[in-house]
Chains A and B, each alone.
Chain A
Amino acid sequence: MEIRSIDGFLKDKLSLNKRGKGDFLQELDEFVQWVNREQHKSEAIKEAVFKGAEIPLHQMVVEFEKAKTALNLLIQIRNKLIEAFQEINRMQV
Protein backbone atom coordinates (compact mmCIF):
# COMPACT_ATOMS: atom_id res chain seq x y z
CA MET A 1 0.00 0.00 0.00
CA GLU A 2 1.27 3.37 -0.87
CA ILE A 3 1.54 5.81 1.95
CA ARG A 4 0.86 9.29 0.84
CA SER A 5 1.52 12.40 2.73
CA ILE A 6 -1.65 14.16 3.79
CA ASP A 7 -0.03 17.49 3.16
CA GLY A 8 -1.64 18.11 -0.16
CA PHE A 9 -4.96 16.88 1.10
CA LEU A 10 -4.91 19.18 4.12
CA LYS A 11 -3.85 22.15 2.07
CA ASP A 12 -6.79 21.56 -0.17
CA LYS A 13 -9.16 21.45 2.75
CA LEU A 14 -7.71 24.55 4.33
CA SER A 15 -7.86 26.63 1.20
CA LEU A 16 -11.40 25.47 0.71
CA ASN A 17 -12.13 26.66 4.19
CA LYS A 18 -10.67 30.06 3.50
CA ARG A 19 -12.64 30.51 0.33
CA GLY A 20 -15.87 29.76 2.19
CA LYS A 21 -17.17 32.07 4.85
CA GLY A 22 -16.48 29.67 7.66
CA ASP A 23 -13.97 31.54 9.76
CA PHE A 24 -14.98 30.24 13.15
CA LEU A 25 -14.00 33.31 15.13
CA GLN A 26 -15.81 35.55 12.72
CA GLU A 27 -18.92 33.42 12.93
CA LEU A 28 -18.71 33.48 16.70
CA ASP A 29 -18.30 37.22 16.68
CA GLU A 30 -21.34 37.63 14.47
CA PHE A 31 -23.31 35.40 16.74
CA VAL A 32 -22.35 37.37 19.83
CA GLN A 33 -23.32 40.55 18.02
CA TRP A 34 -26.68 39.06 17.24
CA VAL A 35 -27.29 38.06 20.86
CA ASN A 36 -26.27 41.56 21.85
CA ARG A 37 -28.79 43.05 19.44
CA GLU A 38 -31.56 40.90 20.87
CA GLN A 39 -30.62 42.07 24.35
CA HIS A 40 -30.65 45.69 23.23
CA LYS A 41 -34.02 45.20 21.60
CA SER A 42 -35.59 43.92 24.80
CA GLU A 43 -33.89 46.69 26.75
CA ALA A 44 -35.31 49.27 24.32
CA ILE A 45 -38.78 47.80 24.78
CA LYS A 46 -38.38 48.06 28.54
CA GLU A 47 -37.42 51.73 28.17
CA ALA A 48 -40.38 52.35 25.90
CA VAL A 49 -42.76 50.73 28.38
CA PHE A 50 -41.45 52.96 31.17
CA LYS A 51 -42.08 55.95 28.96
CA GLY A 52 -45.64 54.82 28.31
CA ALA A 53 -45.36 53.54 24.76
CA GLU A 54 -48.30 51.54 23.51
CA ILE A 55 -46.74 48.15 23.00
CA PRO A 56 -49.15 45.23 23.13
CA LEU A 57 -48.50 42.84 25.99
CA HIS A 58 -47.95 39.77 23.82
CA GLN A 59 -45.31 41.57 21.76
CA MET A 60 -43.47 42.60 24.90
CA VAL A 61 -43.51 39.09 26.33
CA VAL A 62 -42.35 37.44 23.09
CA GLU A 63 -39.48 39.90 22.67
CA PHE A 64 -38.29 39.30 26.22
CA GLU A 65 -38.52 35.56 25.77
CA LYS A 66 -36.52 35.82 22.56
CA ALA A 67 -33.76 37.75 24.29
CA LYS A 68 -33.73 35.17 27.04
CA THR A 69 -33.45 32.30 24.58
CA ALA A 70 -30.66 34.02 22.66
CA LEU A 71 -28.74 34.51 25.88
CA ASN A 72 -29.30 30.88 26.86
CA LEU A 73 -27.91 29.80 23.52
CA LEU A 74 -24.84 31.98 23.98
CA ILE A 75 -24.23 30.63 27.46
CA GLN A 76 -24.53 27.06 26.24
CA ILE A 77 -22.11 27.70 23.39
CA ARG A 78 -19.67 29.26 25.85
CA ASN A 79 -19.94 26.19 28.06
CA LYS A 80 -19.28 23.92 25.11
CA LEU A 81 -16.28 25.98 24.06
CA ILE A 82 -14.77 25.86 27.52
CA GLU A 83 -15.41 22.13 27.68
CA ALA A 84 -13.68 21.66 24.36
CA PHE A 85 -10.77 23.82 25.44
CA GLN A 86 -10.31 21.86 28.65
CA GLU A 87 -10.48 18.61 26.77
CA ILE A 88 -7.72 19.77 24.45
CA ASN A 89 -5.77 21.07 27.43
CA ARG A 90 -5.87 17.69 29.09
CA MET A 91 -4.58 15.95 25.99
CA GLN A 92 -1.07 14.53 26.27
CA VAL A 93 1.04 15.75 23.39
Chain B
Amino acid sequence: MMDLFRTFDVSASGMQAQRIRFNTIASNLANFESYKTTGEPFRKLEPVFEALEDQLQKELVPVRVREIRESNEPFRLVFDPTNPRADAEGFVRLPNVELVKEMADMISAMRSYEANLNAFKTTREMAQKVLELWR
Protein backbone atom coordinates (compact mmCIF):
# COMPACT_ATOMS: atom_id res chain seq x y z
CA MET B 1 0.00 0.00 0.00
CA MET B 2 2.86 2.38 0.80
CA ASP B 3 4.11 1.49 -2.63
CA LEU B 4 0.87 2.74 -4.16
CA PHE B 5 0.89 5.91 -2.07
CA ARG B 6 4.39 6.72 -3.17
CA THR B 7 3.32 6.22 -6.75
CA PHE B 8 0.63 8.83 -6.20
CA ASP B 9 3.26 11.10 -4.70
CA VAL B 10 5.21 11.15 -7.95
CA SER B 11 2.27 12.55 -9.89
CA ALA B 12 1.48 14.89 -7.03
CA SER B 13 5.05 16.21 -7.08
CA GLY B 14 4.68 16.86 -10.82
CA MET B 15 1.44 18.76 -10.28
CA GLN B 16 2.92 20.77 -7.45
CA ALA B 17 5.98 21.72 -9.49
CA GLN B 18 3.82 22.81 -12.41
CA ARG B 19 1.62 24.86 -10.11
CA ILE B 20 4.64 26.66 -8.69
CA ARG B 21 5.75 27.32 -12.26
CA PHE B 22 2.29 28.64 -13.06
CA ASN B 23 2.39 30.93 -10.03
CA THR B 24 5.76 32.37 -10.99
CA ILE B 25 4.40 33.08 -14.47
CA ALA B 26 1.46 34.87 -12.87
CA SER B 27 3.89 36.95 -10.79
CA ASN B 28 5.94 37.71 -13.87
CA LEU B 29 2.89 38.91 -15.76
CA ALA B 30 1.65 40.96 -12.82
CA ASN B 31 5.05 42.64 -12.56
CA PHE B 32 5.36 43.27 -16.24
CA GLU B 33 6.25 46.89 -15.60
CA SER B 34 7.14 46.91 -11.89
CA TYR B 35 10.17 48.26 -10.16
CA LYS B 36 11.67 47.06 -6.95
CA THR B 37 11.89 49.42 -3.97
CA THR B 38 15.59 49.81 -4.81
CA GLY B 39 14.63 51.36 -8.13
CA GLU B 40 15.85 48.33 -10.10
CA PRO B 41 13.40 46.86 -12.59
CA PHE B 42 11.72 43.62 -11.57
CA ARG B 43 13.61 40.54 -12.68
CA LYS B 44 11.71 37.64 -14.19
CA LEU B 45 11.37 34.68 -11.81
CA GLU B 46 11.95 31.16 -12.99
CA PRO B 47 11.62 27.92 -11.05
CA VAL B 48 14.45 25.41 -11.28
CA PHE B 49 13.16 21.85 -11.53
CA GLU B 50 15.16 18.98 -10.22
CA ALA B 51 14.60 15.23 -10.53
CA LEU B 52 14.81 13.46 -7.18
CA GLU B 53 15.81 9.88 -7.75
CA ASP B 54 14.60 7.48 -5.10
CA GLN B 55 17.33 5.40 -3.52
CA LEU B 56 15.18 2.35 -2.92
CA GLN B 57 13.06 2.35 -6.02
CA LYS B 58 14.89 3.54 -9.08
CA GLU B 59 11.69 3.71 -11.07
CA LEU B 60 10.18 6.42 -8.91
CA VAL B 61 11.53 9.84 -9.81
CA PRO B 62 9.53 12.67 -8.26
CA VAL B 63 10.29 16.24 -9.25
CA ARG B 64 10.77 19.22 -6.99
CA VAL B 65 11.45 22.90 -7.35
CA ARG B 66 14.97 23.41 -6.07
CA GLU B 67 14.83 27.17 -6.11
CA ILE B 68 13.10 30.09 -7.73
CA ARG B 69 15.81 32.23 -9.19
CA GLU B 70 15.85 35.59 -10.89
CA SER B 71 16.53 35.55 -14.58
CA ASN B 72 19.73 37.17 -15.83
CA GLU B 73 18.30 38.05 -19.19
CA PRO B 74 18.89 41.67 -20.21
CA PHE B 75 16.23 44.23 -19.36
CA ARG B 76 13.97 45.63 -21.99
CA LEU B 77 15.12 49.11 -23.09
CA VAL B 78 12.62 51.70 -24.22
CA PHE B 79 13.57 55.11 -25.49
CA ASP B 80 11.58 57.57 -23.44
CA PRO B 81 13.61 60.66 -22.40
CA THR B 82 10.74 62.28 -20.54
CA ASN B 83 10.38 59.39 -18.16
CA PRO B 84 11.86 60.18 -14.73
CA ARG B 85 13.55 56.77 -14.73
CA ALA B 86 15.35 57.42 -18.00
CA ASP B 87 19.14 57.29 -17.96
CA ALA B 88 21.51 59.87 -19.46
CA GLU B 89 20.87 58.64 -22.99
CA GLY B 90 17.10 58.66 -22.55
CA PHE B 91 16.56 54.92 -22.22
CA VAL B 92 14.24 53.43 -19.63
CA ARG B 93 14.98 49.94 -18.33
CA LEU B 94 11.92 47.72 -18.00
CA PRO B 95 11.61 44.23 -16.42
CA ASN B 96 12.95 41.38 -18.55
CA VAL B 97 9.50 39.79 -18.76
CA GLU B 98 8.41 38.95 -22.28
CA LEU B 99 4.67 38.64 -22.67
CA VAL B 100 4.62 36.15 -25.53
CA LYS B 101 7.16 33.91 -23.87
CA GLU B 102 5.26 33.95 -20.60
CA MET B 103 2.00 33.06 -22.31
CA ALA B 104 3.63 30.17 -24.14
CA ASP B 105 5.15 29.02 -20.87
CA MET B 106 1.78 29.24 -19.18
CA ILE B 107 0.19 26.96 -21.76
CA SER B 108 3.05 24.51 -21.40
CA ALA B 109 2.67 24.51 -17.61
CA MET B 110 -1.06 23.92 -17.92
CA ARG B 111 -0.57 21.02 -20.31
CA SER B 112 2.02 19.42 -18.06
CA TYR B 113 -0.24 19.86 -15.05
CA GLU B 114 -3.07 18.14 -16.90
CA ALA B 115 -0.81 15.32 -17.99
CA ASN B 116 0.18 14.72 -14.38
CA LEU B 117 -3.43 14.86 -13.30
CA ASN B 118 -4.32 12.29 -15.94
CA ALA B 119 -1.51 10.04 -14.83
CA PHE B 120 -2.72 10.41 -11.25
CA LYS B 121 -6.24 9.41 -12.25
CA THR B 122 -4.91 6.44 -14.21
CA THR B 123 -3.07 5.18 -11.14
CA ARG B 124 -6.22 5.50 -9.10
CA GLU B 125 -8.25 3.69 -11.73
CA MET B 126 -5.78 0.82 -11.81
CA ALA B 127 -5.81 0.51 -8.05
CA GLN B 128 -9.60 0.54 -8.03
CA LYS B 129 -9.79 -2.14 -10.71
CA VAL B 130 -7.56 -4.39 -8.64
CA LEU B 131 -9.61 -3.79 -5.53
CA GLU B 132 -12.82 -4.49 -7.43
CA LEU B 133 -11.44 -7.88 -8.41
CA TRP B 134 -10.69 -8.60 -4.78
CA ARG B 135 -13.97 -9.83 -3.46
* A interface, CB within 8 angstroms of B: 49, 52-58, 60-61, 64-65
Which of the four size classes fits the interface of chain B? 10 to 19
Chain A residues, CB < 8 A from B56: 54
Q: For chain B, what secondary structure do more than half of its interface residues adopt (helix, strand, loop), or is it mixed?
A: helix
Q: Evaluate contact between A57 and B2: CB separation under 8 angstroms.
A: no
The contact of B1 among A55, A64, A65, by CB within 8 Å, is A55
Q: Is B57 an interface residue (CB 8 A)?
A: yes
Q: A54-B56, A54-B57 are in contact. Are A61 and B3 (CB under 8 A)?
A: no
Q: Is B133 an interface residue (CB 8 A)?
A: yes
Q: Evaluate contact between A54 and B6: CB separation under 8 angstroms.
A: yes
Q: Evaluate contact between B3 and A55: CB separation under 8 angstroms.
A: yes
Q: A54-B57, A55-B1 are in contact. Are A61 and B6 (CB under 8 A)?
A: no
Chain A residues, CB < 8 A from B1: 49, 55, 57, 60
**CB contacts between A and B, total, < 8 Å:** 28
Nearest-CB residue, chain B, relative to A58: B130
* B interface, CB within 8 angstroms of A: 1-4, 6, 56-57, 127, 130-131, 133-134
Q: Evaluate contact between B2 and A54: CB separation under 8 angstroms.
A: yes
Q: List 25 A-B contacts (CB under 8 A).
A: A49-B1, A52-B2, A53-B2, A54-B2, A54-B3, A54-B6, A55-B1, A55-B2, A55-B3, A56-B3, A56-B4, A57-B1, A57-B3, A57-B4, A57-B127, A57-B130, A57-B131, A58-B130, A60-B1, A61-B130, A61-B131, A61-B133, A61-B134, A64-B134, A65-B134
Closest-CB distance, B130 to chain A (whole angstroms)? 5
Tell which of A49, A52, A57, A58 has the most Cβ of chain B within 10 Å: A57
Nearest-CB residue, chain B, relative to A59: B3
Chain B residues, CB < 8 A from A52: 2
Chain B residues, CB < 8 A from A65: 134
Chain B residues, CB < 8 A from A57: 1, 3-4, 127, 130-131
